[in-house]
Homo-oligomer: A and B are copies of this chain.
Amino acid sequence: MPTCTVTLEEALGRVTAEDVLAPDDVPNFYRSTVDGYAVVAADTQGASESIPTFLTVVEEVAMGRPARETVCSGSCAYVPTGGMLPQGADAMVMVEYTENFHGDEVAVYQSVAQGAGVVVPGEEVRKGAVLIPKGTALNPAHVGALAAAGIWEITVYRPWRVAILSTGDELVHPAQPAGPAQVRDVNTWALAALTRACGLQIVLRRTLPDREELLEQALTQAKEQADLVLTSGGSSQGKADYTCRLMDRVCDRGVMTHGLSVKPGKPTILAFDGASQTLMIGLPGHPVAALMIYQALGVWLWKRLTGQREQKPRLAEMALNIPGAPGKTTFVWVKLQTDENGRQTAIPVLGKSGLMGTLVDADGYLVLDRNKEGLRKGEPVEIYRLGI
């Protein structure tokens, strides 16, 4: 898997291609977490509201500046939140528990333990520790942790370049009127949106009529430009056959699979070209099936090859009985709803022929094992979402 370097400015959603180690201790100094006085903790033993300890203020430490003086028994220094403790000090007393006399003497009304109000060097990040493991898709907290450690550039996997080829004499662009027998090209735009949602890059996007030589040209061009080529077309047998034949011709390793025991998605084709390291997926023509197979194979493989951990599914209970398809792994779209007992339930989103409109309300999908006859009401299920 090829890698590239990005700065924290573009790091969101990228996947780390190596363990990111902390180059230094963070913080690299004794840092106060409160506004107050840096003291020798032992000096405050027994101090209380009625019996304060009196200390001499030797310094007022400024933010971002090293402390200059040393604190020893009987003395202290003012340090703001985030400021550096002077040498010798081992605890902070919050300003609320002190009273300042004539600027250079302070009464301390609280006893503090060693380390109170102090972050010690390396407490946030220890030098050499794995800050972010390889295979992490970076979120805002990760970006913050990298910034804290002083890591500005990181090595991430270069997102796959994806080509999307949709074929069909019946297809018209969504912006164009559809005449009788014509339908709008759905797959190009739904697959493009899922590609973007996964942080992958679209390099080629074509809608083609059903002419073999045009698809062959497009596959040949896509092979050179893309890491992943998605085709989708009518699910009629004739079309699936020639897509398969062309992929077999264009890819040096040929077609690996034609037909999967999944529902929906049976007519799926997988082919690989070794020279260009390009994977081709011939998706079913039905938009819902095409999205599902892209998710189950394309997105899954991207996550797998970049070492990303699996999605943590949502747990729910089936709201009603549903049948399985014996011998076929079945993908079922569901809507999540909390029932009157506070339990999360999964309601299947059913629709004839997997029409796109039915997916609008879905919260995710579940995978029904090929060996299960179905799912019973109340049975626990795991719900995954579209995307990474």
Asked if A147 contacts B189 (CB within 8 A), the reply is yes
Q: Which residues of B contact A192 (CB under 8 A)?
A: 9, 143
Instruction: Tell me if A6 counts as interface (CB < 8 A to partner B).
Output: no
Asked if B355 contacts A124 (CB within 8 A), the reply is yes
- Give the size of the chain A interface in residues (CB under 8 angstroms): 106
A12 and B181 contact, Cβ closer than 8 Å, known pairs A139-B386, A234-B80:
no
Q: Contact string, A107-144, partner B, CB cutoff 8 A, digits 1/0? A: 00000000000010001110000011000001111111
Within 8 A of B (CB), among A20-45: 24, 26-29, 31, 33, 35
Asked if A184 contacts B149 (CB within 8 A), the reply is yes
Closest to A85 in B: B181
Asked if B186 contacts A144 (CB within 8 A), the reply is yes
Asked if A168 contacts B386 (CB within 8 A), the reply is no
Q: Which residues of B contact A9 (CB under 8 A)?
A: 189, 192
Alpha-carbon distance between A14 and B387 when the two chains are bound, in angstroms: 16
Q: Contact string, A168-194, partner B, CB cutoff 8 A, digits 1/0? A: 111101111111111111111111111
Asked if B386 contacts A193 (CB within 8 A), the reply is no
Asked if A147 contacts B190 (CB within 8 A), the reply is yes
Q: Which residues of B contact A239 (CB under 8 A)?
A: 80
A141 and B362 contact, Cβ closer than 8 Å, known pairs A181-B66, A312-B336:
yes
Asked if A356 contacts B81 (CB within 8 A), the reply is no
A277 to chain B, nearest CB (A): 26
Q: Which residues of B contact A148 (CB under 8 A)?
A: 174, 183-184, 186, 287, 355-357
Q: Which residues of B contact A210 (CB under 8 A)?
A: 63
Closest to A67 in B: B181
Q: Contact string, A269-291, partner B, CB cutoff 8 A, digits 1/0? A: 00000000000000001010001
Alpha-carbon distance between A151 and B171 when the two chains are bound, in angstroms: 15
Alpha-carbon distance between A13 and B278 when the two chains are bound, in angstroms: 29
Asked if A185 contacts B147 (CB within 8 A), the reply is yes
Alpha-carbon distance between A170 and B183 when the two chains are bound, in angstroms: 61
Q: Contact string, A187-205, partner B, CB cutoff 8 A, digits 1/0? A: 1111111101100000000
Asked if B184 contacts A359 (CB within 8 A), the reply is no
